[in-house]
Amino acid sequence: MKTFQKDNHVTMEDVYGFVTGSHVRIQWSVIGKMEALSSIVGFKVELRSEGATNDSWIDVDSVDSHVRATTIKDLVPNNRYQFRVKLLKDDNSVVESNATSWMTVESPTDALPVAPVITSASMLSPTSAKLTWTHDAATANSRARNFIVQFNSTSSAGPQSVC
């Protein structure tokens, strides 16, 4: 009689990440036979920052067994990070990935919007005026949705607003 041993061998490959603002997206793949893959109970994602005094890894996220990516949010700008993934199995064993390459989270480049440029102003009547302006946004998603126009009459004490 021949006995078969269950193939529990699982490996992780292609652990990589990419930086978007102060967030890092980590992705990985798992290789193994179906019976081995069914023994996965979850994953832990760890990070370490360059120059940390103890150079230790810190748990930053845990995900379910079917998940192969996660985003680590709100990292400190001007720091370099490395990530790795731990595969957790139902027999309490752990498969650890190689670390990613070092990734730098840059300082945000947010800036105050530029003021609109008035291109023409003309009186239409004693109680109305026509105002024309241009406004260039630094990025497509920073275009103004509204402008507030403030005006004074020459005999008025303070500005009035019209939206």
Helix (H, G, I), strand (E, B) or coil at 36: helix
pLDDT, one tens digit per residue, over 100-154 is 999 999 877 666 677 888 999 888 888 888 989 888 876 665 677 788 888 777 7
The one-character DSSP state at 116 is P
Each domain of the chain, given as residue ranges in start order, spans 10-105, 117-162
pLDDT, one tens digit per residue, over 92-102 is 999 999 999 99
Question: Rounded CA gap, 127 and 105, in Å?
Answer: 54
Nearest to 68 by CA among 88, 93, 43, 99: 43
Select from 3.40.50.1370, 2.60.40.10, 2.40.50.140, 1.10.15.40 the CATH code of 10-105: 2.60.40.10
CA 79 to the chain's CA centroid: 15
Find out whether 61 and 69 touch, Cβ atoms under 8 Å: no
73-77, 90-94, 155-159: least confidently modelled range: 155-159
Average pLDDT over the chain reads 84
Q: Does the predicted model carry a pTM greater than 0.85? A: no
For the residues 37-49, what does the mean pLDDT come to?
Answer: 94
